[in-house]
Amino acid sequence: MADRINEIAVAPIPARHWTELGRNAYTPEGLGETRTEWLVRARTTGGVEGLANARQSVSADGGSIGRLVADLREVFLGRSVDSLLEIADGHAVAAGSEVRQALATWGWMDTLAIDLVSRTRGKSIATLLGGRRRERIPAYESTTYFQDLLHPHRGLAAVVEHTCRGFADGFRQFKIKVGRGGRAMTPSAGLHRDIEVVLGIRDALGPDVELMVDANFGYDGQPENLEEFIRATSSARLTWLEEMVTASVEAYQALRDLQATHCPETLLVAGEVDGNPPSGAFVDLIDQGLIDGYQPDIVRIGHLRWKQLESRLAEKSILPIPHNFGNGRFGLIAGLALATSLDSWVALEDERIRPNVYADDALTVINGAYWAPAGPGLGIEIDHDAYARIGAPNEVVIHA
Ligand SMILES: [Mg+2]
């Protein structure tokens, strides 16, 4: 008899960064240290357990635990695993017709379906999506926020030291938050500090690491400061410029001109805000080749959807560089599975969440990369002792 989903547990799991993070261009305060992942464990009559992080559902407008549980009942509970996806030649090609709308709306449901089906078949997610593409997954350190404003007495040194610790921990690629001028500092002071931070980190870490910057739109309305930032940091040979300004054709044509003049090797990347990729201005940015990398979030979009998106991007030679911040320890696990599945890969965003409830001792970055997961499914199980302490006290369990 076909496997059916007969039990689902949901629990909030604290997800702690390796250290306290400062603010970025738009947050009014620092990000602190702890976030929450909403772990979903869906079990089948055949003894398989699929995992997902449903944080998007709980944090959405109108979201609640009651709503999440109702959605799980409607979409997954009692359903046959075989009906979740359409399979052709052993590969997942589409969501099942009965759940298609739900999986397109909630990327974590797409991932849960992919995980359940691949585990039931004893395959990795990459194999189910078309084949394993690589053995090592390059990852980038993504926690260099405005640490100078969190530790004012150390200023620039606090940011540089933060990245030096990341280097000692094995990272070889670092993304640096910029865009201080506006909400965090005056435009001129913010510009000066942004430049000083980028050049200071390049100086400290040397020529071989990859450095990128992310302004979270912090240079909106400051065309002269944007040009000066790009000109003054060109010697740092940045790998990419992320969300320097809000996405529009006009803004990205101007940005493309600046890049061509000052740093032609640097990529222009954006798209983490696109929840239905591609939509809005991103349709034109992709069609006109005004971005080089596109960044919809891994957990928000899901694995099957990302795999489908990849071919559309490839037609325009645009690289998949998915966002993966805020997804918790689960995000790292999900990201490694996606990175193993996509034909082209740049680097996985690592927000550096400490181990919590997963049996993932082998997840260690070595010389800038992780090992690709072997499966089945996501390739990671729950650590039952850790879950009993951290997850079980607040879990909700529903049965078919
Ligand atoms: Mg970003």
Structure tokens at 271: 């798209």
Using alpha carbons, select from 207, 198, 142 the residue that is nearest to residue 171: 142
Span from the CA of 140 to the centroid of ligand 1 (angstroms): 12
Residue 313 in any domain: the answer is yes
CATH number reported for the structural domain that contains residue 117 in this entry: 3.30.390.10
Residues 259 and 366 grouped into a single domain = yes
* 278, 229: one domain: yes
CB contact at 8 A, 103 and 87: no
- Predicted confidence at residue 372, as pLDDT, reads 97
Measured in Å, residue 241 CA sits from the centre of ligand 1 at 10
For position 2, what pLDDT does the model report? 81
248 and 122 within one domain: no
* pLDDT given for residue 283 in this prediction: 97
pLDDT digits (tens, 9 = 90+) for 352-381: 999 999 999 999 999 999 999 998 999 999
Side chain identity, residue 156: L
The tokens of 253 are what? 């044509």
Q: Averaged over 173-199, what is the pLDDT?
A: 98
C-alpha 322 to ligand 1 mean position (Å): 10
d(CA 91, CA 123): 10
Residues 230 and 351 in one domain: yes
Instruction: Using CB atoms within 10 Å of the CB of residue 333, give its burial: 0 to 12 exposed, 13 to 18 middle, 19+ buried.
Output: buried
User: What whole-number distance in Å separates Cα of residue 185 and Cα of residue 196?
Assistant: 14
- Based on the fold, state whether residues 207 and 351 are members of the same structural domain: yes
Whole-number pLDDT of residue 1: 58
Quote the ligand 1 centre to 323 CA distance (angstroms): 7
3-state secondary structure of 342: coil
> Which residues, by Cβ under 5 Å, contact ligand 1, an ion?
214
Tokens 């990175």 appear where?
A: 339
Q: What tokens appear for 113 in the block? A: 């379906």
Q: Could you report the per-residue pLDDT of 217-234, keeping only the tens digit for each?
A: 999 999 999 999 999 999
Q: 3-state SS string over 147-167?
A: HHHHCCCCCHHHHHHHHHHHH
Cβ within 8 Å of residue 289, ≥6 positions away: 316, 317, 318
Average pLDDT of the residues in 99-122: 98
Which are the contacts of 255, defined by CB distance < 8 A and separation ≥ 6?
226, 241, 244, 245, 268, 290
- For the chain, counts of helices (H) and of strands (E): 15, 15
* Cα 312 to Cα 317: distance, rounded to the nearest angstrom: 9
What phi and psi values does residue 184 have, to the nearest 5 degrees?
-100, -30
298 with 350: CB under 8 angstroms? no
Using an 8 Å Cβ cutoff, are 291 and 269 in contact?
yes
pTM score over 0.95: yes
Residues 113 and 181 in one domain: no
How far does residue 350's CA lie from ligand 1's centre (Å)? Answer: 12
Each residue's pLDDT tens digit, 249-301? 999 999 999 999 999 999 999 999 999 999 999 999 999 999 999 999 999 99
The residue range of the domain holding 366 is: 136-371
Do 123 and 143 belong to one domain?
A: no
Total count of domains within the chain:
2
Residue 214 Cα to ligand 1 middle (Å): 6
Ligand 1 centroid, distance to 223 Cα (angstroms): 20
Q: Compute the distance from residue 138 Cα to the ligand 1 centre, in Å.
A: 18
Q: Tokens in use for 83?
A: 């009906």
**Whole-number mean pLDDT of the chain?**
97
48: CA distance to ligand 1 center in Å? Answer: 35
How far apart are the CA of 267 and the centre of ligand 1, in A?
Answer: 14
261 within domain boundaries: yes
Cα 386 to ligand 1 centroid, rounded to whole Å: 31
Is 376 contained in some domain?
no
| 389 and 321 share one domain | no
365 CA from centroid of ligand 1 (Å): 21
Indicate if 233 and 203 belong to the same structural domain. yes
How far away, in angstroms, is 216 Cα from ligand 1 center? 6
